[in-house]
Chains A and B, each alone.
Chain A
């Protein structure tokens, strides 16, 4: 830290004071301990080529309510429009799809990947109370809720952080639970039912909530340790476990039913297990060079659906001049497919209990390149702009493709552009 003016000296003293009080947990409010409010306002533009576009204004507010005590508010508004792959494979004829209730249809031209048009809005709010319990412990309690046309979620969370070892080590324990409701537009289809046989689903079935609605419960827990390694290095290890129970199927996804020539005969509504156990090991480290800072994270994820994923994430913040910075971002993630993932179903094979052609459950590689420019505004505020490119790809020409399926890309690459502009103010 260069002490080249009085403001820098004041900030350094504030930082030093804060560090004497602070801990390895580094809960994102180290500098500027005299601030009353921190406001982050952001607009995200997310656009998948030929698919969905999302515009998302976000406001985060943090109010200092007392010595080392904070209340965090989050407000997010998403508008989504465009198209999403419905899981069916391309074929040599136009394909017409019907909703579960039989009330709406859409058609995909021959040779094209079937996409389902949709538009939705989502509002999400969250409040967190972050306060010391004693001179070595903090507690964070949160509540969050979101609503969209066909989905609602409400959740609670509690995290406890405890410092040890002269505040060089912090142990984190956290739990969270959420209760989600899905109200599929067009009704909730009967899993694995042929689309040609779909009729309006009767109300009041198992797991129903009124108009074909379904529910799920999600519980998560985390245990982690954060360690100051040197004056310049900080590291964190987390183990997370999550359990989901209830309606985990995507009501808008189908699987093509094909014959021995690869021709599409019909579609089955997808079916997923109603339980999912997720686990992950997460390691993150931050290193301070003379001026620049690097963050590196690696996660190994596995679940009982058969997905195993390796994810590496690197941010390198390069200081430019007068507080401005440039930050390249690289992220690479590769996952194996869920054991019930399939490109299609053969009409002569027995109907499986579970099947999904959702690319997000397939063998999938995601690569992200990003760049962020941050510019200080006044002494305590910042404006930043980031642009990222996300590429998601898989095996479009699998060896076990049948007949005319070999003529088509069964796993088209998805290219996404992300632009985000953020203003952070401290008052």
Chain B
């Protein structure tokens, strides 16, 4: 059921990457900054994931291995 949209998504992403000029290693200074990490603040991200996991019907998406809770 999901194979098709996933295939289209990955194809589009691959094509978009091909059309962009490659970023050379010496041009990755900004990408290396801590604030440019996909999760720049691990504690804040962990806490938010836990709050919304506890208080909404939907969860996950960013990674695996969070840990369970009774979540009253």
Contact = CB atoms under 8 A, between A and B. Distances in A.
Contacts of A307: 57-58
Contacts of A240: 60-61, 64
Contacts, number: 238
A175 B63 CA distance: 9
Contacts of B56: 309, 333, 335, 360, 364, 366
Given A19-B31, A28-B37, A124 B61 contact: no
Interface residues of B, number: 52
A230 B23 contact: yes
A88 interface: no
A288 interface: yes
A338 B57 contact: yes
Interface string A312-352: 00000100000001000000010100100000000000000
A84 B72 contact: yes
B43 A155 contact: no
A242 B70 contact: no
Contact of A178 (B21, B39, B67): B67
Interface string A144-173: 111010110101110100000111110000
A221 interface: yes
Secondary structure of the A contact surface, majority rule:
strand
A155 B36 contact: no
B37 A26 contact: yes
Interface stretch (A92-100, A194-202, A205-213, A276-284): A276-284
A12 B28 CA distance: 11
A60 interface: yes
Given A20-B26, A180-B68, A218-B68, A40 B36 contact: no
A124 B40 CA distance: 22
A22 B64 contact: no
Nearest to B30: A288
B70 to A, nearest CB: 3
Nearest to B54: A360
B17 A229 contact: yes
Contact of B68 (A44, A155, A235): A155
Contacts of A28: 34, 37-40, 42
Interface string A1-17: 10000000000100110
Contacts of B52: 333, 366
B17 A165 contact: yes
A30 B38 contact: no
B37 A30 contact: yes
Interface stretch (A131-139, A293-301, A395-403, A405-413): A293-301
B13 A227 contact: yes
A39 to B, nearest CB: 11
Contact of B60 (A120, A156, A228, A280): A280
A138 to B, nearest CB: 13
Interface string A228-240: 1111101111111
A226 interface: yes
A386 B44 contact: yes
Contacts of A63: none
A288 B30 CA distance: 7
A40 B32 contact: no
A401 B5 CA distance: 39
A385 B35 CA distance: 16
Given A84-B72, A333-B52, A420-B47, A26 B36 contact: yes
Nearest to B28: A19
A139 to B, nearest CB: 13
B21 to A, nearest CB: 8
A222 interface: yes
Contact of A16 (B32, B47, B60): B32
27 contacts: A1-B33, A19-B25, A30-B34, A31-B34, A52-B72, A58-B43, A84-B72, A120-B72, A128-B65, A142-B65, A146-B67, A148-B70, A150-B70, A151-B68, A155-B67, A155-B68, A180-B68, A225-B13, A229-B20, A231-B23, A231-B27, A236-B38, A240-B64, A252-B72, A366-B52, A366-B56, A420-B44
Q: Ordered nearest first, which 5 A-B pairs have the shortest CB separation? A: A157-B65, A153-B68, A282-B61, A151-B70, A309-B58
Interface of B: 2, 6, 9-10, 13, 16-17, 20-23, 25-44, 46-47, 51-52, 55-70, 72
Given A28-B34, A150-B70, 4 more contacts: A16-B26, A16-B32, A44-B47, A116-B72
